[in-house]
Amino acid sequence: MIKYIMTDVEGTTTSISFVHETLFPFAKKRLADFCRENANSEVVKEALSTTKETVKTEEAKELNNEEAIEKLLYWIQTDRKHPALKSLQGYIWEEGYKSGEVKGHIYDDVPAALLKWKNAGLILGVYSSGSVKAQHLIYEYSDKGNLRPFFSFHFDTKVGHKRETNSYENIVKELKTTPESILFLSDIKEELDAARAVGLKTIQLVRQDDVILGDHPKVHSFSEITF
């Protein structure tokens, strides 16, 4: 019996274009100034230090702060999901959301489904490669109002990567439940494959024509989901 519904974000509740055409450019435009203006904050110090450590390990190069900022900008361009970048993006996006410059895109069919499931006693949560902070922001400051109260738990890649089975094993342990009690919603075949291998129930969202289809139950909208 399903007790938990866990949803992906990009391509599932939120359009991929919003992330790539709004959020990433917003962070890229502001990242350098944010790092310079907040150079003494622990957030920026840690992010630059982690960036330098990664480059030293991967490229055997020593970077100064400005070079580390340039590397972070390159990682935005290449969509590298590095923890230092995700941390900084979260704080930059927070400024944009709170100022009203950015509103999180949510598909029209999502809010009604969340309300229906919540009223039915289901426990709702999120698992995304975006940081937990980024998840909070996109739902709290969405174009459909504050949806954050619908969600009782959030996971990001600290629990593991989304295409690896151990990540879903960790989630089951964290929720102190059984795999078959969790329904996972995502547009990505490989994520759904990994979740199903552990015993989770799965449904694939097909919101765009270029989605790689798997052999999971498929819907085009949250309104079509039944279980």
pLDDT at 227: 80
140-198 pLDDT, tens digit per residue, is: 999 999 999 999 999 999 999 999 999 999 999 999 999 999 999 999 999 999 999 99
Place of tokens 């490669």: 129
User: How big is the chain, counted in residues?
Assistant: 227
Going from the N-terminus, what domains does the chain have, and what CATH number goes with each? 4-15+104-224 (3.40.50.1000), 19-99 (1.10.720.60)
Total-model pTM:
0.88
pLDDT at 79: 87
CA distances from 75 to 33, 69, 184 (A): 17, 10, 29
Q: Which residues contact residue 8 at a Cβ distance below 8 angstroms, ignoring those fewer than 6 apart?
A: 126, 127, 128, 162, 184, 185, 186, 187, 188, 191, 205
